[in-house]
């Protein structure tokens, strides 16, 4: 799997090593010198990273699979209850609908903006894929929202979405003769408002990935199409769109994964409200674990989230492979 | 894995000879200018509000350029919460994590790129598998673990879990593999050990990759929110992001001039930093697909 350098194995016959080593060979080295030292040093080099992964990734994953089966309401001691946490999650008359809603909200947030997100990003990337003055400047500007922290961005957008007439968005609506909205306090508009902010924030990243994809398409394809008399529209649908397929799919999967993990914007802007309409899976998990301190139930939620993310990440890895090889 | 991506246009520059091309160029600039204004609008609105007095903030229709300039919003915001402390915390934690990641990643990447040892494939797969596990999933067990260790509400909780990065190891490994083996053989003959070769030869030769790796680590940590939110309880350990959230949350949401001033000084340092290093940042993202 690993493409190592094409040098001879230390344990290989002497003919291989003379290539690098013109000096006459010394008498046979000990096993330790030839083999053990390299393995030992290698593992020594891996040790610091491994310790961190072991304690803060591998152990927590296993531990969380254990906690799922316990009722663990801090500060009380854990009690083994078998699959009751999952039963509660899927069948409890009060909590199951709340959990279902959080799953729905997560997917609403993750998928709701995708078509618009893709269209805007691709359009901008197409515009930027030219050698004219100002491309670099615009690329820099469009990337600003991505590097600004979600908390800072959320505070600004809370102010933009302010429900009064003097809120920026409402004042624009009033100017256009439309009625003002309460945005983040409106159960039907809160999630679309978060999605719109998400598109604004993630656009710069998508544009850069699309741009890289566009530049991987050989220009001779376009030249050949031009000779055959193809117009701009035909060239887009017959060359750009199919060849950009893997890139588009990659951006889609990455957007969905990142959206499913989103937390800060909900915590800053809506606290999961109004009427639980912006309580996503991660936010629900946070409420269970760190507001009511029900660690077992929250771990069951985490297990469901883990399964979802694992499937998506697996797809992403598959796509990364094809994205790299397609040209 | 990937070839180096050049973020330049594939089409060759042409002189704007024909009127059709000139018309297109004008359309192009108008469209992109509009897009740039839309993208920048929240920032302009933030700065504009941060300079307004309370009365002007609550008037309709809103103004883009303040009639009276209230710079004292910035002073008020800075004094209303321990923002100096928050800045120190964020910077301290991000620097420790970045430096620590560069050290652990360089060592592991060297082993994977330039050494042969038993179990290499297994170890590499194991390390890469950590990228499939997101922090949201291990949040609860990690929290309980830190609680047991007595690390909650300490700098340890904010730094130690992030001292390794599988993405970093993977990227540095790619860079380290490009150093010719002859160089290492020659160094070895002169009695240079592996660690010294890594520090004195490989690291200086792979500076661009190290720089972009450092950038990702720093930005990712600086902007992180959920983890510092749950592992810190005392005010003096809050990072800038958590501090800003509590500052805006506690006031009942009316002092928008002061809130925007606080948001300006939370976000502007990162924006300035980004302008300084944006080229390597953008190229790094195109190259690796990692978001900061």
Gap from A91 CA to chain B (nearest CA, Å): 22
Residue B113: what pLDDT?
Answer: 93
Question: In whole angstroms, what is the distance from residue B104 CA to residue A44 CA?
Answer: 11
Residue A171, both tokens: 């004042």
- pLDDT tens readout for residues A63-78: 998 999 988 888 888 8
Contact A215 B124 (CB under 8 A): no
Local structure of A84: helix, strand or coil: helix
State the angle between helix axes of A295-325 and A59-67 in degrees (0 to 180), rounded to the nearest 10: 140
pLDDT tens, residue by residue, A202-246: 998 899 889 888 988 888 888 888 888 888 888 888 888 888 888
Query: Which phi and psi angles does A80 have, rounded to 5°?
Result: -70, 130
Say whether B138 and A219 touch across the interface (CB within 8 A): no
Domains of chain A: 88-325 (1.10.3720.10)
pLDDT for the residue A14: 42
Q: Which member of B138, B143, B286 has the closest CB to residue A61?
A: B138
Q: Which two tokens stand for residue B126?
A: 């194991």
Query: What is the average pLDDT across B213-230?
Result: 91
Nearest Cα of chain B lies from the Cα of A241 at a distance, in angstroms, of 17
User: How far is Cα A226 from Cα A55, in angstroms, rounded to an integer?
Assistant: 58
The pLDDT assigned to A154 comes to 95
Locate B103 and state its tokens: 């050290």
Q: What span, in angstroms and rounded, lies between the C-alpha atoms of A245 and A56?
A: 36
Using a CB cutoff of 8 Å and minimum separation of 24, what contacts does A230-233 make?
A: none
* Subunit contact B28:A130, Cβ cutoff 8 A: yes
Is B116–A38 a contact, with Cβ atoms under 8 angstroms apart?
yes
Q: What is the pLDDT of residue B93?
A: 96
In sequence order, which ranges of chain A are alpha helices (DSSP H)?
14-17, 31, 37-53, 59-67, 84-91, 95-112, 114-128, 135-147, 150-160, 168-175, 190-215, 219-227, 232-235, 241-243, 245-260, 264-265, 281-290, 295-325
DSSP string, A152-203: HHHHHHHHHT-SSTTSHHHHHHHHTTPPP--GGGSTTTHHHHHHHHHHHHHH
How close A205 comes to chain B (CA, Å)?
Answer: 7
What is the C-alpha to C-alpha distance for residues B260 and B77, in angstroms, rounded to an integer?
9
Closest Cβ–Cβ partner in A149, A209, A215 for B10? A215
Residues of chain B with CATH 1.10.3720.10: 80-252+279-288
Label residue A189 by pLDDT band (50, 70, 90). Answer: very high
> pTM for the full model?
0.85
Distance in angstroms between the alpha carbons of the first and the last residue of chain B: 20
Per the CB < 8 A criterion, the answer to whether B95 and B163 are in contact is: no
Between the alpha carbon of residue A311 and those of residues A317, B132, B133, the distances in Å are 10, 10, 11
| pLDDT > 90: percent of chain A | 42
- Are B141 and A214 within 8 A, CB to CB? no
Residue of B nearest to A148 (CA): B267
Does A46 lie at the interface with B, CB-CB under 8 angstroms? yes
Would the pLDDT of A1 be above 80?
no
**Residues of B with Cβ-Cβ distance to A268 under 8 angstroms:** 245, 248-249
Pairing, β A79-80 against β A70-71: antiparallel
**Which residues of chain A make contact with B59, given a CB cutoff of 8 A?**
166
* Residue in chain B lying closest to A158 (CA): B253
Name the DSSP class of A68.
T
Inter-chain touch B275–A140, beta carbons under 8 Å = yes
Sequence-separated (6 or more) residues with CB below 8 Å from residue B32: A127, A128, A134, A138
Neighbours of B155 (CB within 10 A): 14
Mean pLDDT of chain B: 86
A60 and B286 within 8 Å at the Cβ level: the answer is: no
- Long-range contacts: A285-290, Cβ < 8 Å, 24+? A285/B136, A285/B139, A285/B140, A286/B139, A286/B226, A286/B230, A289/B139, A289/B140, A289/B143, A290/B143, A290/B230
Residues on chain B touching A265 (C-beta within 8 angstroms): none
Best of B26, B33, B137 to disrupt the A interface (most A CBs within 10 Å) is B137
Chain B residue nearest residue A323, CA to CA:
B2
Rounded to a whole number, what is the distance in Å from the CA of A93 to chain B's nearest CA? 25
Number of H helices and E strands in chain B, helices first, is: 15, 0
**Chain A: closest CA distance from residue B170 (Å):** 11
Q: Tell me the β-bridge partners of B79.
A: none
Enumerate the residues of chain B whose CB falls inside 8 A of the CB of residue A308. Answer: none
**What pLDDT score does A324 carry?**
44
**Contact A144/B at CB under 8 A:** yes
CB-based contact A258 B169, cutoff 8 Å: no
User: Which residues numbered 192-251 in A keep a CB inside 8 Å of some CB on B?
Assistant: 200, 203, 205, 208-209, 211-212, 214-217, 219, 250
From B79-83, B212-216, B276-280, the region with the lowest mean pLDDT = B276-280
**Average of per-residue pLDDT values in chain A:** 84
Q: In a mutagenesis test of the B interface, which of A20, A22, A49 is the best target, namely the one with the most B β-carbons within 10 Å? A: A49
Q: Is the pLDDT of residue B155 over 90?
A: yes
Paired residues of A79 in beta bridges: A71
Whether A8 shows a pLDDT value over 50: the answer reads: no
With pLDDT > 70 as the criterion, what percentage of chain B qualifies? 88
Note whether B140 contacts A289, CB cutoff 8 Å.
Answer: yes
CATH code 3.90.1170.50 for B80-252+279-288: no
Bin A310: left if φ > 0, else alpha if -120 < ψ < 50, else beta: alpha
Which chain B positions have a beta carbon within 8 Å of A258's beta carbon?
Answer: 291
Q: What is the pLDDT of residue B150?
A: 93
């Amino acid at each position: 799997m690993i493409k190592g350098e094409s040098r001879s194995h230390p344990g290989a016959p002497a003919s291989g090593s003379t290539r690098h080593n013109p000096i006459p060979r010394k008498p046979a080295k000990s096993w330790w010198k030839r083999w053990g030292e390299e393995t030992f040093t290698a593992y020594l080099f891996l040790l610091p990273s491994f310790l961190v992964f072991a304690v803060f990734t591998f152990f927590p994953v296993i531990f969380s699979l254990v906690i799922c089966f316990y009722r663990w309401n801090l500060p009380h001691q854990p009690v083994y209850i078998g699959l009751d946490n999952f039963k509660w999650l899927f069948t409890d008359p009060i909590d199951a609908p709340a959990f279902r809603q959080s799953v729905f909200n997560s997917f609403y947030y993750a998928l709701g903006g995708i078509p618009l997100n893709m269209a805007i990003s691709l359009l901008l990337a197409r515009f930027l894929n030219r050698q004219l003055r100002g491309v670099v400047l615009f690329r820099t500007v469009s990337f600003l929202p991505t590097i600004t922290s979600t908390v800072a961005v959320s505070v600004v957008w809370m102010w933009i979405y302010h429900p009064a007439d003097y809120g920026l968005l409402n004042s624009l609506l009033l100017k256009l003769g439309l009625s003002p909205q309460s945005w983040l306090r409106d159960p039907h508009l809160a999630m679309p408002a978060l999605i719109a902010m998400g598109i604004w924030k993630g656009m710069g990243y998508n544009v850069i990935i699309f741009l890289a994809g566009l530049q991987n398409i050989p220009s001779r394809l376009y030249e050949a199409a031009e000779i055959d008399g193809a117009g701009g529209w035909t060239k887009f649908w017959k060359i750009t769109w199919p060849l950009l397929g893997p890139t588009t799919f990659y951006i889609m999967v990455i957007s969905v994964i990142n959206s499913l993990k989103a937390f800060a914007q909900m915590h800053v802007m809506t606290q999961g409200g109004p009427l639980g309409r912006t309580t996503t899976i991660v936010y629900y998990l946070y409420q269970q674990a760190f507001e009511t301190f029900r660690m077992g139930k929250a771990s069951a939620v985490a297990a469901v989230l883990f399964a979802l993310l694992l499937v998506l990440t697996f797809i992403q890895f598959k796509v990364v492979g094809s994205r790299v090889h397609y040209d | 894995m990937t070839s180096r991506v050049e973020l330049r246009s594939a089409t060759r520059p042409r002189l704007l000879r024909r009127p059709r091309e000139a018309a297109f160029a004008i359309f192009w600039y108008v469209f992109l200018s509009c897009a740039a204004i839309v993208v920048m609008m929240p920032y302009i609105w933030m700065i504009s509000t941060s300079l307004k007095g309370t009365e002007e903030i609550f008037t309709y229709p809103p103004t883009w350029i303040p009639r009276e300039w209230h710079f004292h919003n910035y002073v008020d915001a800075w004094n209303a919460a321990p923002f100096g402390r928050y800045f120190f915390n964020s910077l301290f934690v991000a620097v420790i994590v970045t430096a620590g990641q560069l050290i652990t990643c360089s060592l592991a990447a060297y082993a994977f790129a330039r050494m042969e040892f038993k179990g290499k494939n297994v170890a590499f797969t194991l390390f890469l598998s950590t990228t499939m596990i997101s922090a949201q999933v291990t949040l609860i067990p990690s929290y309980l673990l830190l609680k047991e260790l007595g690390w909650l509400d300490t700098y340890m909780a904010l730094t130690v879990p992030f001292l390794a990065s599988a993405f970093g190891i993977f990227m540095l490994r790619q860079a380290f593999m490009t150093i010719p083996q002859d160089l290492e053989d020659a160094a070895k003959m002169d009695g240079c050990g592996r660690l010294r070769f890594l520090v004195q030869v490989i690291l200086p030769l792979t500076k661009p990759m190290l720089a972009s790796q450092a950038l990702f680590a720093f930005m990712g940590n600086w902007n992180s929110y959920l983890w510092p939110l749950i592992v810190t309880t005392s005010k003096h350990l809050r990072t800038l992001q958590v501090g800003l959230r509590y500052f805006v949350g506690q006031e009942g949401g009316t002092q928008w001039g002061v809130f925007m001033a606080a948001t300006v000084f939370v976000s502007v340092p990162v924006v300035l930093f980004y302008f300084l290093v944006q080229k390597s940042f953008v190229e790094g993202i195109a190259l690796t697909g990692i978001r900061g």
